[in-house]
Chains A and B, each alone.
Chain A
Amino acid sequence: MTVEQLTQLIYLVSAGAFILSLKWMSDPSTARRGVFAGVGAMVLAVAGTLLYPHIVAYHWILIAMVAGTLVGVPLSWVPLTAVPQRTALSHAFGGLAAGLVGTAKYYTWLDEGQLTTFRMAAIGTEVLLGYLTCTGSLMAAGKLQEVLPTRPLTYRNQNLINLGLLAVAIVIAIVLVFRPATPFLFPIVIVLSLLFGVLLVLPIGGADMPTVISLLNAYAGLSAVAMGFVLENKLLITAGALDGSSGLILSIIMCRAMNRSFVNVLFGAFGQVQAASGVVEQRTAKSATPEDVMHLLENANTVVFIPGYGMAVAQAQHRVRDLRDELTKRGVNVKFAIHPVAGRMPGHMNVLLAEAEIPYESLVEMDDINPEMPQVDVAVVIGANDVVNPAARTDPKSPIYGMPIIDADKAKTVIAIKRSMNPGFAGIENELYFADNTLMLFGDAKVVIGEVVKEFSGKQSIH
């Protein structure tokens, strides 16, 4: 067996292990095994590649790998609220790697005069996707970290200009395919791709970040596939396709959860201040004290918590867990209703609650909890807004009309914990707060839930 055949054999095993790794992610009980399979697959892939006969020197590879490890380890320690930013940054690195390898290959083959039409087409795709993923993801990370303004930045004819730019980049790439030896055109493709990535994410608002992150995930995967075609490497194509399909599925789930299409997310500039939709009436919401809330919860049989990103911002998840413990101790049935877009990336809320040691069995998906909502005694909305806004069901004029929501309003009593009456992320008024069965508990979620818990434990010491 030649070395090359050995490498291919190792790649085959590695590809199989990658598939198993994702397969084991289907259930929390096998998921950690999935990570180990992934690590094993990656180690095999790197080892197999290092055997490659064309590699003449190892020192730069080694230095870069050590440096990458030194940066990568601290990056894995970020607080869980910052996981979306880390993920976006990681998409940016993935895109960058693809772009750089494509660039290097272009100039290498240009030198050697081996730039065939097929190779050039693959390089063009890789470079376009790679660089636009890189800058687009950096923009997304900036918005998530709130270094950049989270609201959509728009200007006149934005879509026309963006698409025009992309069209020019693609046309130049196509010209390169037929005339590969026009090196002055290649940097133009790079610059346009980088620019397009920035402009693509600029008009997308904070509320759409879960979809954008998923979409960039798919692009990062596809750029790895394109690299596979450039380097004629089946392992790259396989792993890239797995990543691409994961990004695609997550994007579809996110879009459905918001009742919006890809086109709408990318070009709709959602989350703009919906200027004066309807007359602003002065209405009053009923407010409650922590003591009232304690009594309500104490007498309930079923309580459903509906957490939103506001809960994570207030770092209230540990207080929520304390409250849950108090209730469970008293025999109250406590569940958590999780909307698919709660948080800043797919599944974000589940991770935040898991960190607070809330067992995942009590985390219920939107579709499973909604039929039960009319039987629920108290629904506690913590830092969620649009995902419980009944206007999505009832008001065809509302910008979120048609979006699937958690039917908090159907519970017998609703307690909404909120800092003030300001509308949420999307800037839309919420009818729920004015409903007859709703009580508002104003204040910082961490503080007021702490007070409710105190009411419970204070009561215990009196008896």
Chain B
Amino acid sequence: MQLDFISGLFVFMLATFIGLDVIRRVSRLLHTPLMSLTNAISAIAIVGAIIITGEQHTTLSTVLGAVAVFASTTNIVSGFLITDRMLKMFKKREPAK
């Protein structure tokens, strides 16, 4: 589906405003997990990497794409897992003994 430059800018602007507003509300307690989570989210680059790899246009593009898929998958997997691992540690009160 074609996307013209201006529509792209529209999406970018609106998403940035939503992002700024949502992130501003994140508790400071959770800034480290937030960064691991956004790490995983920015690995959305995998979408582009998959297309490049799957098209098999040239050997070069396939290789570059596969490396990009590898790098993004690493980010997705480790980002989500470590975020959840950290969040599990946050307890409101004393654990019941």
Report A's interface with B, CB cutoff 8 A.
4-5, 8, 15, 18-19, 21-23, 25-29, 31-32, 34-35, 38-39, 41-42, 45-46, 49-50, 52, 54-58, 60-61, 63-65, 67-69, 71-73, 75-76, 78, 80, 83, 86-87, 90-91, 93-94, 96-98, 100-101, 103-105, 107-108, 111, 118, 213-214, 217, 220-221, 223-225, 227-250, 253, 338, 340, 345-348, 350-351, 354-355, 357, 359-361, 363, 365
In order of increasing CB-CB distance, the 7 nearest A-B pairs are A68-B73, A347-B31, A72-B77, A55-B54, A245-B19, A76-B81, A241-B15
Distance (Å) between the CB of B72 and the closest chain A CB?
5
What separation, in Å, do the CA atoms of A239 and B28 have in the docked complex? 22
B28 near A94 with CB under 8 A, answer no
| B8 and A244 contact, CB distance less than 8 A | no
Distance, CA A365 to CA B27, complexed state (A): 10
- Partner pick for A64 among B7, B40, B70, CB 8 A cutoff: B70
Give 23 pairs: A residue, B residue, CB < 8 Å, sorted on A: A15-B15, A22-B37, A26-B22, A31-B90, A56-B54, A57-B56, A61-B50, A68-B72, A68-B77, A73-B77, A73-B81, A75-B82, A76-B77, A76-B79, A96-B67, A100-B67, A101-B48, A224-B42, A236-B45, A350-B28, A360-B29, A361-B92, A363-B29
Residue of A64, A213, A221, A248 with highest tally of chain B CB at under 10 A: A64
Whole-angstrom distance from the CB of A69 to the nearest CB of chain B? 5
CB distance from B17 to the nearest CB of A (A): 8
Q: B15 to chain A: which residues have CB within 8 Å?
A: 15, 237-238, 241-242
How many angstroms between the C-alpha atoms of A114 and B28 in the bound complex? 47
Flag if A241 contacts B38 (CB, 8 Å): no
Cα distance, A25 to B28, chains bound together (Å):
10
Query: CB distance B89 to A75 under 8 Å?
Result: no
Q: Which residues of A contact B93 (CB under 8 A)?
A: 359, 361
B74 CB contacts on chain A under 8 angstroms = 68-69, 71-72, 75, 90, 93
Interface of A is mostly: helix
Number of A-B contacts (CB under 8 A): 377
Within 8 Å by CB of B29, from A8, A233, A350, lies: A350
A49-B87 contact given A241-B19, A363-B29, CB 8 Å threshold: no
Q: Are A351 and B89 in contact (CB under 8 A)?
A: yes
Contact present for B8 and A228 (CB under 8 Å): yes
Determine if B80 and A35 form an interchain contact, defined as CB atoms under 8 angstroms apart.
yes
A86 to B42, CA, bound (A): 15
Residue in B closest to A338 when the chains form the complex, CB atoms? B28
| Interface membership of chain B positions 1-21, coded 1 if the CB is closer than 8 angstroms to chain A and 0 otherwise | 111010110011001101110
Determine how close the nearest CB of chain B comes to the CB of A294; give it in whole angstroms: 23
User: Are the CB atoms of B62 and A60 closer together than 8 Å?
Assistant: yes
Known interface pairs A73-B78, A83-B82. Does A55 touch B33 (Cβ–Cβ under 8 Å)? no
B39 surroundings in chain A (CB, below 8 A)? 87, 90-91, 94, 217, 220, 243
Whether A34 pairs with B37 at a CB distance below 8 angstroms is yes
Q: Chain B's nearest CB lies how many Å from the CB of A326?
A: 14
Q: Contacts of A103 on B, CB cut-off 8 Å? A: 64
